[in-house]
Amino acid sequence: MKIGFIGLGNMGAPMAANLADAGHAVTGFDTAAKPEGLTLATSAAEAASGADVVITMLPNGDILRAVADQVIPAMTPGAVLLDCSTVDVASARDVAAQAADHGNQMLDAPVSGGIGGAQAGTLTFMVGGQEDAFATAKPLFDIMGQKAVHCGPAGNGQAAKICNNMILGITMIGTCEAFALADKLGLDRQAMFDVVSTSSGYSWTMNAYCPAPGVGPTSPADNDYKPGFAAALMLKDLRLSQQAAEGADADTPLGQAATELYAQFVEAEDQGHMDFSAMLPRFEKRGRG
């Protein structure tokens, strides 16, 4: 396929490289990044022109809207716009409507799996949009990832992503505060892990991504809490979940509390550099006051 790829940052560059390595004709564009080994265009519109699929991997919904304004008029009618960024549900739905007005289908397909997954081609895609566009993009999902779940109409991929990550943020905080309490009660961390990982308190954050160094499988905790999944990205996704909850009149008290805790952590304490599991050393240092 002829693919335009816009947004060649930490995630986009390796995803574009995997598509090119698999034999697709990829033309990339980024306002700043100029990764080696990819054919680059001089504008987003140039990258999109004549492409069968235009992929975007951008920082947020406002930038997606701005890029869509440039790209959609340049797209061949019938071509698919595939946005893999994590953005707000409203932007995903608005850009899908804009694409439809021009005779193009759009898929919102945010990912989980991080930079390692982008490099290894093992991402999971959560996809909103029409069935036939999903079928067109499926061979590309198979190269860039290991799983693609069609979640329903436009915006539902973003909805699935923020609901998942809201659970993840809340669960990580719960796991970390329980470890910090266990410390203060004199309970050994290994014993805590052995019990909880096989009891009803188990979770992905405990069993697969344990925030306590030296306990459980290797995780960012064993590497001085270098990300991994940065707390700043968790904060972004939690904020998107609360924006969506406000728009949909959904009561999400724990999602709101998790957003406030990560905001305080990222903005006042870790300066955005640490993994989201570094909530454990944060709680460790604190008392109730």
Active-site amino acid positions: 161
CB of 158 to ligand NAD, least distance (A): 10
Using the minimum distance from each CB to ligand NAD, give the nearer residue, 255 or 283. 255
CB of 232 to ligand NAD, least distance (A): 10
Residues making contact with ligand NAD (CB under 6 A): 6-12, 29-33, 44, 57-59, 63, 66-67, 85-86, 111, 114-115, 233, 236
Which among 10, 6, 4, 20 is positioned nearest to 57, based on CA atoms?
6
CB of 278 to ligand NAD, least distance (A): 15
